[in-house]
Amino acid sequence: MPPPRRRARAARELREILDSRLFRALCEPVRVEIATWLTESGPADVNTIASHFPQHQTVISRHLAILHEAGVLRRTKRGRHVYFEMDGPGMTDRMEKILERFRNIVPLCCPSDED
Amino acid sequence: MPPPRRRARAARELREILDSRLFRALCEPVRVEIATWLTESGPADVNTIASHFPQHQTVISRHLAILHEAGVLRRTKRGRHVYFEMDGPGMTDRMEKILERFRNIVPLCCPSDED
DNA sequence: TTGACGTATGCACATGTGTGCATTTATAGT
DNA sequence: ACTATAAATGCACACATGTGCATACGTCAA
């Protein structure tokens, strides 16, 4: 494959993987705090999580939904409780894919790849 | 190190690496488009980049500054022109660090790490 | 120094989004 | 069925941020 086409392909793959909801989910400090807290504390229901943050329960509920739709958290409904936990394996997979894309891009976009 | 301390440490490291400007920079679609375009087209100055987007030159200039401060782009000033290009190696390093953090977290936060 | 060009900044405005309250929906217990 | 509890949604509001215009800054060529 000639270099121009390789570059075009790399760019397309990069857009695919960067245009996800993942970055929008993680660009909000409160959501990062929630994800971090869940990492440390393990699975917890909405009210328990909300009780550890200054925001209202409804706000935390919305943030949890965004994190879940972005694939950061797992959601388990048991009775009238909804439990959330970090999706470690899922996030690892995502990051591996993104990393792979960047590895492909380095030799194409960076003529002098020192440092 | 006992499990609780390991969890606390993993959470702290996760917050460190996720609280960066990187995600805020990449959560804006226009900025992702700029980064993608630079990947495909190679280094270019501000006006050249701006000419390929509907936004005003001043807007593109601001986006480029944000991407640069986040470590996504490299900046090279030559005369009165300022050239930008993807920082492939830098991004690869960042992603490797983030991936490593998530790898550490998986066995701690996810009791049933199937799928 | 003057003028031209490339880039960055101040400002005002529109849109997006996090927030809290009131309310609704869903489920368990009685 | 009724009540209580958990979670989600509609709405309004405040703040953040992307946008464009006018303009200032910095550099090169004469």
A110 belongs to a structural domain: no
Give A88→chain B minimum CA distance, Å: 5
Count Cβ atoms within 10 A of the Cβ of residue B17 and give its class: 0-12 exposed, 13-18 middle, 19 or more buried.
middle
Structure tokens of A96?
């591996």
B35, A14 in Cβ contact below 8 A? yes
Q: Report the chain A residue with the minimal C-alpha distance to residue B94.
A: A99
**Full residue range of the structural domain in which residue A84 is found:** 3-105
Residue segments in chain A with a per-residue pLDDT below the cut of 50: 113-115
How many domains is chain A partitioned into structurally?
1
A11 belongs to a structural domain: yes
Count Cβ atoms within 10 A of the Cβ of residue A31 and give its class: 0-12 exposed, 13-18 middle, 19 or more buried.
buried
What CATH number corresponds to the domain at position A70?
1.10.10.10
Query: Cα–Cα distance between B48 and B69 in angstroms, integer?
Result: 20
Instruction: Determine the average pLDDT of the residues in B60-78.
Output: 97
Least Cα distance to A61 among A49, A78, A77 occurs for A49
pLDDT at A2: 76
What is the DSSP code string of A65-90?
A: HHHHHTTSEEEEEETTEEEEEE-HHH
pLDDT at B113: 44
Task: Kindly state the greatest CA–CA separation across chain A.
Answer: 58
pLDDT at B114: 43
pLDDT at A20: 77
B60 belongs to a structural domain: yes
Residues of B in contact with A36 (CB under 8 A): 11-12, 14-15, 18
Least Cα distance to A35 among A1, A71, A81 occurs for A71
pLDDT at A115: 37
Of A52-56, B38-42, B67-71, B108-112, the range with the lowest mean pLDDT is B108-112
pLDDT at A112: 53
DSSP character for B71?
T
A82 belongs to a structural domain: yes
Look up the protein residue whose alpha carbon has the minimum distance to the C1' of D9: A58
B111 belongs to a structural domain: no
Which residues numbered 16-45 in A keep a CB inside 8 Å of some CB on B? 18-19, 23-24, 26-27, 29, 32-33, 35-42
A43-CA/D5-C1' distance, Å = 20
Give B68's pLDDT tier (boundaries 50, 70, 90).
very high
Residues of B in contact with A14 (CB under 8 A): 35-36, 39
pLDDT at B112 over 70: no
Which residues, in sequence order, are CB contacts of B15 under 8 Å at separation 6+? A32, A33, A36
